[in-house]
Structure 1
Amino acid sequence: MTAEAVIRKGRKFDQVLEGAREIFLRDGFEGASVDDIAKAAGVSKATLYSYFPDKRLLFTEMASSQCCEQADHALLTLDLSQPPRVVLPQAGRKFLCFLYSETAMRIFRICVAESDRFPEIGRQFYQSGPMVMRRAVTTYLIEATQRGELQIDDMNLAADQFAELCKADLWPKVLFGIQTDVTDAEIDRIVDGATATFMARYGAN
């Protein structure tokens, strides 16, 4: 059964999600108790279960809503009519600021830790965050190519390549705990290099 088939929206729905966000990000998926979530949300356990009869569904909805909110905010601030050397650095910075945020990193680690038992958690996280950004970048690349600003045959591959270029150097260090803080200067360095490399490959002559 899908999450959409069993999740019931209601007056205290957002309140429950906010309580879930607090407890899941603090205690992880396994460590989070329904009692603590209900207390943080200011609702009874019966009310919580009326919305989410399964803790897994509650986590998935919480993670998805957080990712969608961040992705939507990032996309709304981009002017996709601008040329690639303007849009790509902006998109790269938005992507990395979200990726390295405390919320995103904690959700990502929980998804990875639970992916063997609950693979749908990881799939939902990918679809609600990274996939939203991927679709937006792909759409932009198509438009920029049609305007003659880029020369790309495989749009999906190019979008993925740009995202991976933006993850160079910093991502493995943060992922494995070698580095805990990321500065704006470090993000600028990575994104500027990613844009230059991408344009060297796909920029129109």
Structure 2
Amino acid sequence: MPEGSIGARPGRKYDQVIEGAREVFLRDGFEGASVDDIARAAGVSKATLYSYFPDKRQLFSEMVGVLCRRQAEQANMEIDFSAPPAAVLPLVGRRLMRFILSSTGQRLFRICVAEADRFPELGAEYYRCGPQMVQTRLRDYLLKAAARREVRFDDANLAAAQFAELCRAELWAKAIFGVQASVTDAEVARTVDGATSIFLARYGC
């Protein structure tokens, strides 16, 4: 959870405040968002909003943390550690791309970059809940596959990171810079399958 967050307080009003904050912050950014707009979008009074979050900074940090964790839950996956790399890598690649190419994932990324000086902890939270989570699970799988002599490498973390970067080729840059408004499943499959072939050509046994 981002540093300085007051922590989640379960309940309908809390959920309404977070949803209102999501709508306004993702639309207007931190500077452009007003507490009045957030309270209106949440359907609560300003007094209720302030009872949860004394200031806009804390609300912003909590909102980003909640959305990051929500994205992570959606991207969470069970890897069959007994399956061969040719079967597992495409699954991991598609799940990673689903996270980073999603509308919420891209908006969160842009906000974290735009507010990096003001909220340096947010980028770390986004990375931890999304790309790092997938990458860590891939590293753990690769170590098992290496023990079965299906792949070989000197650095499992580097190998996992390289596969993740191969999966981003072309599509991520086009999406984040607004060059391409949407990405099809076929485009993701083409890129991820290519990443798998390159990875196995380098690290396969």
TM-score (norm 1): 0.89
Q: Does 1:143 align with 2:144?
A: yes
The residue number in structure 1 matching 2:116 is 115
Using the TM superposition, name which of 154-163 and 36-45 deviates more: 36-45
The residue number in structure 1 matching 2:64 is 63
Distance 2:78 2:141 in 1: 14
CA displacement, residues 105-152 of structure 1 (integer Å, 9 cap, x when unaligned): 111111111112221222222222222222212122122222322212
Q: Does 1:161 align with 2:173?
A: no
Question: Percent identity at matched positions?
Answer: 58
The residue number in structure 2 matching 1:85 is 86
The residue number in structure 1 matching 2:9 is 9
Distance 1:56 1:156 in 2: 34
Using the TM superposition, name which of 99-108 and 39-48 deviates more: 39-48
Q: Partner letter of residue 48 of structure 1? A: L
Structure 2 unaligned runs (5+)? none
Q: Partner letter of residue 91 of structure 1? A: V
Structure 1 unaligned runs (5+)? none
- Going from structure 1 to structure 2, the CA distance change for 1:184 and 1:50 (only over 3 Å counts) comes to same
TM-score (norm 2): 0.89
Aligned length: 203
Distance 1:142 1:152 in 2: 9
SS at match of 2:125: helix
Q: What is the 5 A alignment of 1:1-205?
A: 2-4=3-5, 6-7=6-7, 9-11=9-11, 12-204=13-205
Q: Is the 8 A contact 2:21 2:42 kept in 1?
A: yes
Deviation at 1:72, TM superposition (A): 2.6
Distance 2:36 2:26 in 1: 15
Q: Partner letter of residue 29 of structure 1? A: F
Distance 1:149 1:69 in 2: 34
Distance 1:64 1:161 in 2: 27
Q: Is the 8 A contact 1:137 1:159 kept in 2?
A: yes
Distance 1:10 1:30 in 2: 27
Distance 1:193 1:47 in 2: 51
Using the TM superposition, name which of 98-107 and 139-148 deviates more: 139-148
